[in-house]
Amino acid sequence: MSRYAPGAVMLRAALRRMEPYTPGEQPRPGEQVLKLNTNENPYPPAPGVIRAIRRAAAADSLRRYPPPRADRLVQSASRLYGLPPQMILAGNGSDELLALLFRAALGPGDRVAYAAPTYSLYATLAAMQEAQVVAVPMAADFSLPVVRLAAARARLTIVCNPNSPSGTFTAIDEIDRLAARLGSRLLVVDEAYVDFAEADALGLVGRHANLAVVRSLSKSFSLAGMRVGLLFAAPVVVDALLKVKDSYNLSAPAIAAGAQALEEVGWMRRNAAKIKATRRMAEARLRRIGFAVPPSAANFVLARLAGHNLEGVARQLRRQGILVRHFADALPDALRISIGTPGQMARLFRALEPLMRRLGVSRVNGRAERCG
């Protein structure tokens, strides 16, 4: 508890009004839990990544500042994704790149539009800029309200694809249409989970100067702890972001790890394929025990039970050492569950099925089933 009165220090008034972003629960050091609440990858990063971090730590690079534009990482990204380095910016996680975009595009009173429910950080970033949010409700199937988003005429429109927390995917030609409708207004596509989907918007970046695609190495490349993100956009957008970013936004080990992870992209693709197979099994099994599950293109699923607040179920799972995400305000009737290994998902179902039976909605027939 602070012993200082609120307002004891002169800070921006906007900060008093805003709620901080609430990340998913992180277990205490050493606490043994099954962590299915923040969409981390259950598999380790590529073996060369650990060696690259060791090399970065052993060499002179810790004593010196890192390259401000993370050149090695940007070059690896350029080779892998086929866009020139002037169209790529590396970030300290994709969260930093999102913050830079909001900072560059929005001043007090400017409009930012997105479909809801979505990644709740967008609201926090908007509040920081004192921007005005136009949150357009998604339809029941979480399809993107393209026309209403375009009609908002916001300075910045952001689409999370695949969307969190629904996991649903918007077809790329809809993104293409939205980018065209927005003209010179910025469209950001947050593709943090796109490696678990079947298509992506990167091919549109060369066609629309107003489009920025943001990627994360936290999920598919298993590097959440390293903080590496990538942004792809026209040079005019990248140049503007360079003006508002910190000079040395990525550490030397993060640059080395990110570059090596991209060099070993096959490792990521094999892990993503395993996660997609486990996801299919998990979706089917959740539906069998009574949940409605929108088709997921991400490394998590949204399990919904109409008319039930699932906070209690999340709490019961927590008691058994299993963390899943419950969004009390946006989606009280749902749990967002990250996809783990087949063994981890089997453990989840062993805990979840009795809870469902207790709720009286289970269609489980009692047969033991394997997941994955």
Ligand X SMILES: Cc1ncc(COP(=O)(O)O)c(C=O)c1O
- Residue ranges binding ligand X (CB under 6 A): 39, 93-95, 119, 160, 164, 190, 192, 216, 218, 224, 229
In whole angstroms, the minimum distance from the beta carbon of 119 to ligand X comes to 4
In whole angstroms, the minimum distance from the beta carbon of 157 to ligand X comes to 15
Contact in structure between 255 and 67 (CB atoms under 8 Å): yes
| Residue closer to ligand X, measured from CB, 133 or 180 | 133
In whole angstroms, the minimum distance from the beta carbon of 354 to ligand X comes to 30
In whole angstroms, the minimum distance from the beta carbon of 224 to ligand X comes to 5
Contact in structure between 91 and 273 (CB atoms under 8 Å): no
Fill in the DSSP letter of residue 292.
B
Fill in the DSSP letter of residue 187.
E
| Residue closer to ligand X, measured from CB, 168 or 218 | 218
In whole angstroms, the minimum distance from the beta carbon of 229 to ligand X comes to 4
Contact in structure between 301 and 286 (CB atoms under 8 Å): yes
DSSP labels, 136-169: EEPPTT----HHHHHHT--SEEEEESS-TTT---
| Residue closer to ligand X, measured from CB, 187 or 289 | 187
Q: With both helix axes pointing from N to C terminus, report the angle between 93-105 and 235-244 in degrees, rounded to the nearest 10.
A: 100
Residue closest to ligand X when measured from CB atoms? 93
| Residue closer to ligand X, measured from CB, 168 or 216 | 216
Rounded Cα distance between 224 and 249, Å, is 16
In whole angstroms, the minimum distance from the beta carbon of 194 to ligand X comes to 10
Q: Which long-range contacts (CB under 8 A, 24 or more apart) does 77-82 make?
A: 77/230, 77/262, 79/262, 80/262, 80/265, 81/202, 81/232
| Residue closer to ligand X, measured from CB, 38 or 143 | 38
| Residue closer to ligand X, measured from CB, 218 or 271 | 218
In whole angstroms, the minimum distance from the beta carbon of 1 to ligand X comes to 30
In whole angstroms, the minimum distance from the beta carbon of 355 to ligand X comes to 26
Any idea what the Cα angle at residue 202 is, between residues 190 and 340, rounded to 5°?
55
| Residue closer to ligand X, measured from CB, 100 or 286 | 100
**Which of 200, 238, 203, 248 is closest to 220 using CA atoms?**
200
| Residue closer to ligand X, measured from CB, 39 or 278 | 39
Rounded Cα distance between 217 and 202, Å, is 15
Q: What are the distances in angstroms from CA 297 to CA 163, 171, 174, 263?
A: 9, 11, 16, 24
Contact in structure between 304 and 298 (CB atoms under 8 Å): no
Rounded Cα distance between 104 and 238, Å, is 10
**67 burial level (CB within 10 Å; 0-12, 13-18, 19+):** middle
In whole angstroms, the minimum distance from the beta carbon of 195 to ligand X comes to 12
DSSP labels, 197-220: SS--SGGGTTT-TTEEEEEESSST
